[in-house]
Amino acid sequence: MPLPKARWGQKFPTLVAAWRRAWAQVIPFFAFPVPIRKPIYTTNAIGSVNARLRKIINFPNDDAASKLIWLALRNITADWKRPGPGWKEAMNLFAILYAERFTGRRG
């Protein structure tokens, strides 16, 4: 495992255990170049979006939840005035790395 057991495991055992359990989901993130990773993990926007989405996801079926998530994301992104720091460089890399899936348009 990538986390030193003696240094981190004794001080933060719960944190180390969580990293180890989720390692298969975490490691693909490190395959992205730093200019893509940095805006993703340093932005409060992601936390804000997640908090706003958590408020609406208490519905009896997936179809209702999907529709409400779509509406919420539409409303959330309408409030965005400008991209966060480093986002332009990240978007340029996304356009290069995923040209077949990247449209370069919002909305």
Q: How far apart are CA 58 and CA 80, in angstroms?
A: 25
Highest mean pLDDT among 4-13, 22-31, 94-103: 22-31
* Three-class SS state of 21: helix
Amino acid symbol at 76: I
Stretch 78-85: mean pLDDT, rounded? 77
Asked if residues 28 and 35 have their Cβ atoms less than 8 Å apart, the reply is no
Q: How confident is the model at residue 21, as a pLDDT?
A: 92
DSSP 82: S
Torsion of CA 56, 76, 96, 38, to 10 degrees: -80
This prediction has a pTM of 0.45
Q: How far apart are CA 16 and CA 13, in angstroms?
A: 5
